[in-house]
Structure 1
Amino acid sequence: MSQSQQEILDAAAECFMRMGPDVASIDDIAGRLGATKGRVYHHFRSKGELLYAVRLRSVSLLMEKVAPIAAQDLPVLQKLRAMSVAHVLRILKYLNYHRVVSEDPRMFFRGSAKPYETEMVEKIIGMRRAYENLYRAVLSEGMESGVFAKQSLSITLHSLIILMNGPCFWYSPRPEQTEADLQLIAQDVSNLVLRAVVADPALLNGA
């Protein structure tokens, strides 16, 4: 992705978050960039394509941080903690991207999607499924080993993702916040995640 495309996506994510995808226009996005609509259309053919690009970017941001952790040979409890902390930190750092997805969960605008938009939706769904499978694998391993409580894998998975996405709804950035502050928020959310799955709370001591 070029720097120009990234700048357009950042502006689009901010406009979609503040105004809503149905209201925000290409004019609004170009205005935030201090550019003409032509610059936007040079890279993106429609507002729909921009919205799907923002959605795809939101999942990519999570995948690029969490997938390397999931690939490590770590005890399941330590791995889930590291994955969940990385997820929450990504949400906090790129709140505009993730809030767009959380506040407007529809995959399509009203009306028909263009073929290239449909192709992007399929990419988003595929990457989202791959991302969920990272957690599905560690949860399954933990349940089989007895570290995690044996319960519905699907319900546990989706409940934990909702919990980790919680900052999209209640977090408000403050200028005085430091990286250490964000780390504490991520650790607190991660603690909730682990408490929801461990078979024995004593396992959390020192985890």
Structure 2
Amino acid sequence: MSSSEIGRPALGRPGPGEDGRKAILDAAARAFARKGYFATSIDAIADELGATKGRVYHYYRGKAEIFLDVVVTGMRDLIAAVEPISARQDAGPGERMYQMAHLHASMMMLRNHAQRVSVQAIEMRSVAEIAIHQDVLADVFALRRRYEQIFIDVVEEGVRLGDFAATDSGLVVKSALGALNWIPIWYAPDRTPLDVEKVADTFARFIVNGLKGS
């Protein structure tokens, strides 16, 4: 998948520019994270945006499309950010894994609302208005598998080089990403008195030390 494919919108109508779409997705992420999917209406998203719902409908046909676009855009942003780190030739697997986990943890906090919505998506896939978008749901799970594979490849390289202890790479990556993906559930920028750098460093060190068997 090219970088342009990573950045393209998953759903929605053609619009005059991506800035308008991004503003809607940011507003929707805040509304969904605060109220949940069912309690969030197009009116609520428009209120969060500070615009009329006509502006929202200019880009999207309905709430389900906006919700899924938040999820897919969030996944593509993670891949676009982490993939270059995984491909670095000037750093070993341990350093790359630290940077990848650190960046992931940071994005869970700095883009807290969007990532909370991504966590919701796993539970929402059976909801009728979400489930009808099978092609997009397939993309979501394909992106998740691709993201996991980026981490798996680094773990397996580290095992081959002796930097990491022998392990089930798929299982350990699911465990690591599970811990990282839970951050937006308990971390709230306005309520959690924790420094982003400290949290990201703690999680990244914990993951790398675990892979080294220390």
Which of the five TM-score ranges fits, normalised by the shorter chain? 0.7 to 0.9
- Give the number of equivalent residue pairs: 197
**2:118 is equivalent to residue 101 of structure 1:** yes
Q: Would the aligned equivalents of 2:112 and 2:188 in 1 still touch at CA under 8 Å?
A: no
TM-score (norm 2): 0.84
More divergent stretch after superposition (25-34 vs 5-14): 25-34
1:37-116 equivalences in 2 (<5 Å): 37-73=53-89, 74-108=91-125, 110-111=127-128, 113=130
1:113-132 aligned at under 5 Å gives the runs: 113=130, 117-132=133-148
Length-normalised TM-score, structure 1: 0.87
Aligned residues: percent identity?
28
Quote the RMSD (CA, aligned, Å). Answer: 2.2
The whole-number CA distance in structure 2 between the counterparts of 1:13 and 1:93 is: 13
Q: In structure 2, what is the Cα distance between the partners aligned to 1:89 and 1:9?
A: 20
Aligned match of 2:200? 186
Q: Any unmatched runs of 5+ in structure 2?
A: 1-16
- Structure 1 gaps of 5+ residues are 202-207
Comparing 138-147 with 4-13, greater Cα deviation is found at 138-147
Cα distance change on mapping 1:113 and 1:186 into 2, 3 Å: closer
Supply the distance in 2 between the matched residues of 1:107 and 1:143 (Cα, whole angstroms). 36
Deviations 1:121-167 (A, max 9, x none): 22222222111111010011112222212122221010010122232
Q: Deviations over 1:72-106 (max 9, x none)?
A: 11211111011111111111110001111224523
CA distance in 1, matches of 2:110, 2:173: 23
